[in-house]
Each structure stands twice: as C-alpha cells, then as structure tokens.
Amino acid sequence: MPKELKTNAMRFLDKSNIKYEIQTYECDEFIDGVHVAEKLNQPLDETFKTLIAQGKSGTYYCFLLPVAMELDLKKSAKSVNEKSVELLHVKDITKVTGYVRGGCTPIGMKKQFMTVVHNSAENLDLFYISGGRIGTQIKLSPQLLVKAIRGKFADIIQ
C-alpha cells in the first residue's frame, strides 16, 4: 500500500510487527459502527467502536466495545481507577485524538491513552476496529493490540 494511503494506525502496526488486514467501504461522512459492520458483512460482536472519555482527574481514556453495545460509565470508571468518566463531546474528538468521528482508533493517536477493551474480545482470534479514517477498518488480533498499546481487557458494557 502506498505510504500516503497508510494511516497512523497502520504505521504503528507495521512498526510493531503486528499482522492486520484492511477493509474499506465507500462513505463520505460518519455512519455508526453497526452500519459499517453490516456494510462489510462483519459480525456485530467482532466489530468494535472506539469511545474516548475523560475521567474526573482530567485524564483521557480510550474504550473499545462491540458496536451494538453501550458503554457503562460506572464500570468504565472503575476499570481505570477513576471516580467517574464522561464521554468526550463529538466536537472535541479531533482536538484530543487527532482523528475524526468515525475514524477514531486506539492506535496512532496524538498521545497514547490508557485503553480498555471489552473482555468479550479476549476470546476472539481477530476483531475489527477503525483504521484511522472514515471508510477504513482494520482486522487484527485483540490480544496483540492490547499488548502493543499496554491496554487491558475489562467488563465495560451495560
């Protein structure tokens, strides 16, 4: 793939020697993860969305969960040892992560945030996450991803 078509996420995975596959879809603007999964014929429980939250301490966190599920803010806060967390407002996503809504991924951000992946991914061989831009998905090992970004698995859904 030509260098200019690679995202920061792909460059990070290449540098970390993590195998991945790319899937692309036509899309000019944000569509939710459920529609992305349906468009690409991906199982909903293997397709994960990336949500960014800010803790009471002011620290930012990244949470990955199946696209059809809802984040449990109390469980999420507990997983990162915070009293509470609030989801980042859409208008602040790019400023904080360097990615646009719909293209946000836990790898290759401006700064690596503590990342918690829902524990359902722990038993998957491969799963799908955003590739770092709208219209791109990456298929990779959740275990290798968590290890590379020093993240962890936890129960974070309602």
Q: What is the mean pLDDT of the chain?
A: 92
CATH class assigned to 3-154: alpha beta
Give how far Cα 20 sits from Cα of 53, 112, 129, 157, Å: 26, 20, 11, 26
CB contact set of 123 (below 8 Å; sequence gap of 6+): none
On the question of pLDDT at 2 being above 60, the answer is no
On the question of pLDDT at 33 being above 80, the answer is yes
69-96 confidence digits (pLDDT tens): 999 999 999 999 999 999 999 999 999 9
CA separation for the pair 114, 80 (Å, rounded): 8
For residue 3, the model assigns a pLDDT of 53
Q: Within a 13 Å sphere around the CA of 63, how many CA atoms are in the beta-carbon half? A: 30
Give the amino acid at 75: K
User: pTM for the complete prediction?
Assistant: 0.93
pLDDT > 70 in the chain, percent:
96
For tokens 């990336």, what's the residue? 50
In contact, 122 and 69? CB cutoff 8 Å: no
